[in-house]
Structure 1
């Protein structure tokens, strides 16, 4: 694991954008893009040279294994759906999240008790209320449209290529999954019980929330992010067929996990950081459990 060049006892995944040396939060200074170490900050005051722009560094799988792996899983799930019937396939129904199950028949789906469905020769497609808890996460890897997939994967690549070198591989994966779970939690609470929701948008909005918190905690202006935030807010609340619940829930989840990450960053606080992330995950599962009990 990389350690701060000035504090060898501190693990870090952040590097100076000018010299690429690893630096801990106590040593980093926010620059126009990314962070700089104390020596480069002093050098910058004496020089007219512009700091190197952060471009996500290398873009290969070895540099961004988690980002590319997440994209790969999303693409493989989409291919499996396309090869088995497209948006109306049973795989898509099996992976999509919904609170209430429904009966799938050749004439379409309708909400009836599972016993009646099976007696009539239909196929019961379970919801979270029926115990299909896998849908809380599988829905975040599921797409039924090539355009939907392409837009989400491009967004995932752009955010992942920036965040993975900063927060680390494991944390990026955890942030993605917890944000997706947060989006699913709001889906089961605020969506029509029998409606199905799919897409990685909730998890991706979570990564956007992480980026916002990192900018704020580094003392950088949010101006570069404002157009992205406004466009996505407009799509979320005014677009057709968009799950605002998944988007908003994921974004809130990203804000929370990033708040935990930035508040407990020193190596000595790593156990507390993971404990706090675990506690937040349990809180999300508890909220989902309460919704199931109330339904």
Structure 2
């Protein structure tokens, strides 16, 4: 049984018809479109159609996918399985520790998350991004979703640089793992099975693949993104529960800044632990 997001000690089977958060009898506000939580009851009712719910809502998710595909094609990507790296875009936007530390090219911490090395790489990442992104963005809204995504992207870059500063790293995997971590936290805080619906198996399988020899995967980025996404989602959820949403954004900003500072610090060490 789920528990009220404002009163965790109260079990309830009712959820807000707008945001989906579980609410108890004390928090229910009857409206023409069902029961709503105190925050949503103060908002104007938005008319939702099948087109807006399933076609236009995940705007941030779609924008990220489009950006990744455009950059993949622009960097020389093809329908083959070979790497698309080595072009001008890779040279100026892929993640490489020494250039971050000594040349102060800090934008690489973000831009590398939009580049991919081959059709299998981008195809797998974009598939997971679509599956997880559309669910989370509809649940959290585009602003909260985007905040979690880019926080996880930065913590993923930090994790990748902790693993190695001698290799060029690209891919949205860190941010996608962050969405997995966020999904676990949100389901857990809503009283649902945290690893239900195959989510636990998805995380385990992807982590196992990350450590398989011969795949040349930056597993540090996966772990960093997973942890960062989980922390960001928890901060946003708890700040909403205490009706201080700005605290969640502050916490995510602090985590992102810490990830950038850590990335710059470790990227000056020429080492590889994996």
TM-score, length basis structure 1 = 0.70
Matches of 1:161 and 1:77, distance apart in 2 = 21
1:258 matched residue in structure 2: 233
Distance change (3 Å), C-alpha of 1:90 and 1:65: same
Distance change (3 Å), C-alpha of 1:271 and 1:190: same
1:189 matched residue in structure 2: 162
- Contact kept? 1:261, 1:273, Cα under 8 Å: yes
1:227 matched residue in structure 2: 201
Could you tell me which runs of 5 or more consecutive residues in structure 2 were left unpaired when the two chains were aligned.
1-5, 7-12, 26-32, 37-49
Matches of 2:188 and 2:222, distance apart in 1 = 21
Q: Any idea what the Cα deviations from partners look like across 1:83-117, whole Å, max 9, x if unmatched? A: 799322121122110112xxxxxxxxxxxxxxxxx
The 5 Å alignment of 1:276-295 reads 276-292=251-267
CA RMSD of aligned residues (A): 3.2
Matches of 2:58 and 2:119, distance apart in 1 = 23
Could you tell me which runs of 5 or more consecutive residues in structure 1 were left unpaired when the two chains were aligned.
1-9, 11-16, 30-36, 41-54, 101-125
Distance change (3 Å), C-alpha of 1:20 and 1:79: farther
> Which structure: larger Rg?
1
- Contact kept? 1:71, 1:153, Cα under 8 Å: yes
Matches of 1:161 and 1:76, distance apart in 2 = 20
- Contact kept? 2:232, 2:248, Cα under 8 Å: no
Residue 99 of structure 1 pairs with residue 74 of structure 2:
no
Where has structure 1 moved over 6 Å in runs of 4 or more?
17-20, 37-40
Work out which of the residue numbers 174, 178, 202 in structure 2 matches 1:202: 174
Shift of 1:144: 2.4
